[in-house]
């Protein structure tokens, strides 16, 4: 008896030990989810606005049909309007317009074709009717589904094909008489129009999100990420053990990773952007394709940086005395390429001609030439060749990156001339001088990139061998 009650008490205790931490766990779980929600909203507040927009559109359309339903009875009509809003209202204006147009046109086309086929089938009568109908449904569904595999159709008209198949099947099989079908078509098209118009008005009027602007910002951001990496690379790679105290934010070294896989987002944004009408600084038929070209070149640069990044790891690190011989010129080359990319990013974002990037491109080219001369002169004789190779690879990859930067600059120039970017006088450009000053100030604070301070004396970077850094006396030359 006692043992039974003991057992019971033990069971209760165990149950209690199991259940006791549950509320705590639940609270921490809820707190975690809340934190995630907050972060998601803070990362891009437009997400919150979009959610509210969908809520608003659906409430409006629901209440409109609900109030009608109280008098006339609720029919299919409202359903089509609600469905249209749910499916068509997308994050960006381009996506919404694309889906709306696809839905509208496909419904019209398939409806007309469906009525024709239905009429044709009903003429044959008897057993011929369902056979003919079945044949046409099969043919149309198979052909439209196959069409969806074409990359061009998949990218822009996938949703239209889906709605085409759906509407055709519904209409051709509907079994209504011709007059009824016309009434049905009229009702359905009008509700789709109401739903579509609600979506388009809300998406354009309430805090519009333009896919074209997003594409432009994404391309600019990617250029900036690569630029920041290159600006910081010199200081990072040629850091000596004594520089360690300068512990600043290292996130710029990770930025390029997201660039590597940006192809998909860029392409879908470009597809959406093509549906958008002229707005703000963009006219209809803005050369969106050119942004994809810049994006491709940026990724090619990022691939090289991924290879370069491997040499930042300690395992691939060469001794300081070997690295120091090309420190100044490599830092200069990397920094100037980075600054050029940042200027290009700014030009893309502000839609100005990227003239302010040209001096940086030139400087990085000069630095690349100096580096080549330096390498030719045999600065590393009597050194462990295996260690030399590690540094030489970095130099070689940096030269490669400089070439990529030039190509990017060319394609941004091309974009600027196709899209008629406004030109700014580089001497008075407030952004440019501001950017450069901030950059220089930041670099001067941090001792390892002393080259930027000496940048003004061109003789030091032209004279080849004399580039051995005088500011770092501890280096064994």
d(C-alpha 82, C-alpha 262), whole Å: 34
355/373 with CB nearer a copy of itself: 373
d(C-alpha 470, C-alpha 196), whole Å: 69
- Shortest Å distance, C-beta 129 to a copy of itself: 9
279/369 with CB nearer a copy of itself: 369
d(C-alpha 169, C-alpha 136), whole Å: 9
Q: Which of residues 347-386 bind a copy of itself (CB under 8 A)?
A: 372, 375-378, 380, 384-386
238/282 with CB nearer a copy of itself: 238
5, 17, 67, 427: residue in contact with a copy of itself (rule CB under 8 A): 67
Options 72-80, 197-205, 340-348, 458-466: segment touching a copy of itself (CB under 8 A): 72-80
DSSP 275: T
d(C-alpha 286, C-alpha 274), whole Å: 8
Q: Are 115 and 227 in contact (CB under 8 A)?
A: no
d(C-alpha 460, C-alpha 469), whole Å: 10
268/460 with CB nearer a copy of itself: 268
Pinpoint the alpha helices (H) of 73-92: 76-88
Options 255-263, 270-278, 411-419, 453-461: segment touching a copy of itself (CB under 8 A): 255-263
Q: Which of residues 73-92 bind a copy of itself (CB under 8 A)?
A: 74, 76, 78-79, 82-83, 86-87
Q: Which of residues 320-339 bind a copy of itself (CB under 8 A)?
A: none
Six token digits for residue 336: 């100037």
- Shortest Å distance, C-beta 284 to a copy of itself: 27
5, 149, 244, 476: residue in contact with a copy of itself (rule CB under 8 A): 149
Q: Which residues lie across from 422 on neighbouring strands? A: 352
State the residue for tokens 């053990």: 241
141/193 with CB nearer a copy of itself: 141
106, 133, 226, 361: residue in contact with a copy of itself (rule CB under 8 A): 133
d(C-alpha 335, C-alpha 232), whole Å: 7
> 472 in helix, strand or coil?
coil
DSSP secondary structure string for all residues of 366-402 = HHHHHHHHHHHTTTTTTS-HHHHHHHHHHHHHHHHHH
93, 97, 339, 395: residue in contact with a copy of itself (rule CB under 8 A): 395
Q: Is 286 in the site for a copy of itself (CB under 8 A)?
A: no
195/235 with CB nearer a copy of itself: 195
Q: Residues 168-197: x/- map of binding to a copy of itself (CB under 8 A)?
A: -xx-xxxxx---------------------
| 348: CB partners within 8 A, 6+ apart | 216, 219, 220, 223, 294, 354, 412, 415
- Shortest Å distance, C-beta 341 to a copy of itself: 18
Q: Are 343 and 308 in contact (CB under 8 A)?
A: no
d(C-alpha 171, C-alpha 175), whole Å: 8
d(C-alpha 85, C-alpha 79), whole Å: 10
Q: Is 30 in the site for a copy of itself (CB under 8 A)?
A: no
State the residue for tokens 């392409």: 267
101, 162, 189, 200: residue in contact with a copy of itself (rule CB under 8 A): 162
| 62: CB partners within 8 A, 6+ apart | 78, 82
d(C-alpha 282, C-alpha 410), whole Å: 21
34, 142, 206, 207: residue in contact with a copy of itself (rule CB under 8 A): 142
DSSP 317: P
188/443 with CB nearer a copy of itself: 188
Q: Which of residues 450-469 bind a copy of itself (CB under 8 A)?
A: none
35, 124, 138, 453: residue in contact with a copy of itself (rule CB under 8 A): 138
- Shortest Å distance, C-beta 375 to a copy of itself: 5
Q: Is 201 in the site for a copy of itself (CB under 8 A)?
A: no
Six token digits for residue 96: 């919404």
217, 240, 355, 396: residue in contact with a copy of itself (rule CB under 8 A): 396
Q: Is 70 in the site for a copy of itself (CB under 8 A)?
A: yes
395/416 with CB nearer a copy of itself: 395
d(C-alpha 405, C-alpha 226), whole Å: 10
- Shortest Å distance, C-beta 226 to a copy of itself: 14
Q: Is 284 in the site for a copy of itself (CB under 8 A)?
A: no
Six token digits for residue 453: 């301070």
Q: Which of residues 113-132 bind a copy of itself (CB under 8 A)?
A: 130
28, 123, 146, 420: residue in contact with a copy of itself (rule CB under 8 A): 146
């Amino acid at each position: 008896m006692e043992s039974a009650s003991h057992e019971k008490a033990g069971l209760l205790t165990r149950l209690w030990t199991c259940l006791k931490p549950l509320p705590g766990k639940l609270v921490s779980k809820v707190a975690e989810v809340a934190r995630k929600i907050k972060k998601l909203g803070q990362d891009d507040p437009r997400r919150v606005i979009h959610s509210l927009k969908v809520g608003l559109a659906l409430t409006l359309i629901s209440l409109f049909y609900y109030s009608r339903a109280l008098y006339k009875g609720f029919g299919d009509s409202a359903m089509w309007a609600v469905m249209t809003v749910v499916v068509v209202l997308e994050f960006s204006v381009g996506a919404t317009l694309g889906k709306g147009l696809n839905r509208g046109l496909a419904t019209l086309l398939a409806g007309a074709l469906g009525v024709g086929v239905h009429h044709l089938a009903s003429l044959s009568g008897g057993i011929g009717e369902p056979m003919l109908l079945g044949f046409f449904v099969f043919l149309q569904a198979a052909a439209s589904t196959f069409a969806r595999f074409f990359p061009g159709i998949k990218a822009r008209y996938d949703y239209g094909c889906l709605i085409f198949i759906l509407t055709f099947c519904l209409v051709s099989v509907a079994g209504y008489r011709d007059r009824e079908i016309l009434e049905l078509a009229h009702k359905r098209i009008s509700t789709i129009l109401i739903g579509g118009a609600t979506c388009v008005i809300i998406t354009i009027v309430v805090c519009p999100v333009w896919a074209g602007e997003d594409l432009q910002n994404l391309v600019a951001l990617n250029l900036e990420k690569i630029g920041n990496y290159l600006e910081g690379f010199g200081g990072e790679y040629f850091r000596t053990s004594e520089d360690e105290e300068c512990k600043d934010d290292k996130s710029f070294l990770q930025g390029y990773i997201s660039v590597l896989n940006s192809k998909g987002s860029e392409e879908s944004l470009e597809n959406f952007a093509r549906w958008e009408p002229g707005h703000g600084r963009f006219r209809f038929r803005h050369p969106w394709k050119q942004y994809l070209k810049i994006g491709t070149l940026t990724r090619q640069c990022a691939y090289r940086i991924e290879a370069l990044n491997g040499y930042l790891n300690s395992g691939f690190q060469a001794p300081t005395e070997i690295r120091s011989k090309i420190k100044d010129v490599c830092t200069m080359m990397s920094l100037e390429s980075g600054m050029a990319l940042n200027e290009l990013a700014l030009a893309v974002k502000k839609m100005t001609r990227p003239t302010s990037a040209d001096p940086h491109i030139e400087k990085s080219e000069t630095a690349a030439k100096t580096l080549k001369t330096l390498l030719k002169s045999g600065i590393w004789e009597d050194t462990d060749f295996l260690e030399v190779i590690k540094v030489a690879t970095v130099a070689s990859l940096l030269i490669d990156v400089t070439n990529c930067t030039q190509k990017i600059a060319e394609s941004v120039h091309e974009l600027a001339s196709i899209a008629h970017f406004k030109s700014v006088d580089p001497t008075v450009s407030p952004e440019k001088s501001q950017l450069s000053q901030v950059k220089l100030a930041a670099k001067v604070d941090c001792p390892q990139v002393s080259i930027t301070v000496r940048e003004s004396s061109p003789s030091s970077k032209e004279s080849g061998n004399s580039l051995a850094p005088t500011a770092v006396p501890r280096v064994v030359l």
